[in-house]
Amino acid sequence: MKNALACLLLSSAFLSSAFAQASMPAAQPPLTQQEKNKAIAQRFFDEIFNEGKFQVFNEICAPDFVNHGLHRNSSLQEDQAAARQEKQLVPDLHMTVDMMIAEGDLITVLWTAHGTNTGRAGAFPPTGAKIELRGTTIWRITDGKIREEWSSFDQLRVVRQLLSQLKWLLIGFFGVLIFLPWLIARFIRNLFRTHAQNTAAAA
């Protein structure tokens, strides 16, 4: 009887332990470096461009960050200033990550941006133009910091989208430039003609 009771208690303890282990959530494997880099890249779009949290630059970018342009490189400060200006011109700017590929310390992102130009550009008023474009950005991320960038997008497309909203204003402006000299010349000619007529009448 005692042996049977002991076996029953041991069986109950074993089943309880097995059930408890089975009900515990499985431990998540640690994130790979590529997954961590992807999370950093996602923050760049979500927090800096979409939410306007420009202080995040200093959290995820290295002080010696370099943006490699086609003809010249930009520093971290210049990149920050450019992002602020873009957000000022297009306050509702939203960038969507369409695809992200990680290899080694490099992250390649295919993104789409869209928004409306409701902000002023110096002396130029807002155009209300809807802007949409697609681009590619490659970052080199080491030690949790973005250190280098290579970006490519169709800048001419943005210009065309802005000009499409300004075409009638531009047509009117150039029309004035074309006809203004003619109007001035005609005014001067009439002025001299009137003067000559008055002189002849006085004689």
Q: What is the pLDDT of residue 50?
A: 96
For the chain, give the mean pLDDT: 80
pLDDT in tens, 25-72: 567 788 899 999 999 999 999 999 999 999 999 999 999 999 999 899
138 located within any domain: yes
Q: Which CATH number is 69's domain given? A: 3.10.450.50
16 located within any domain: no
23 located within any domain: no
pLDDT in tens, 20-38: 555 555 677 888 999 999 9
39 Cβ neighbours under 8 A, 6+ residues apart? 31
Alpha-carbon distance 36 to 31, whole Å? 6
Question: Could you please report the per-residue DSSP string of 61-110?
Answer: EEEEEEEE-SS-EEEHHHHHHHHHHHHHHSTT-EEEEEEEEEETTEEEEE
40 located within any domain: yes
Alpha-carbon distance 116 to 122, whole Å? 17
Which position has the higher pLDDT, 58 or 164?
58
- Decide: residue 147, CB within 10 A, 0-12 exposed, 13-18 middle, 19+ buried: middle
- Amino acid type, 76: L
Please name which of 108, 160, 107 lies closest in space to residue 133, comparing C-alpha atoms.
160
199 located within any domain: no
132 located within any domain: yes
148 located within any domain: yes
The token duo for 94 is: 């939203």
**C-alpha triplet 147, 149, 150: angle, nearest 5°:** 160
Number of domains in the chain: 1
The neighbour count for residue 58, using CB atoms within 10 Å, is: 12
The reported pTM is: 0.66
Question: Could you please report the per-residue DSSP string of 158-180?
Answer: HHHHHHHHHHHHHHHHHHHHHHH
Mean pLDDT of 105-120: 94
51 located within any domain: yes
With a cut of 90, say whether residue 107 has pLDDT above it.
yes
Q: Which domain holds residue 121?
A: 31-181
First to last CA, the chain: 151
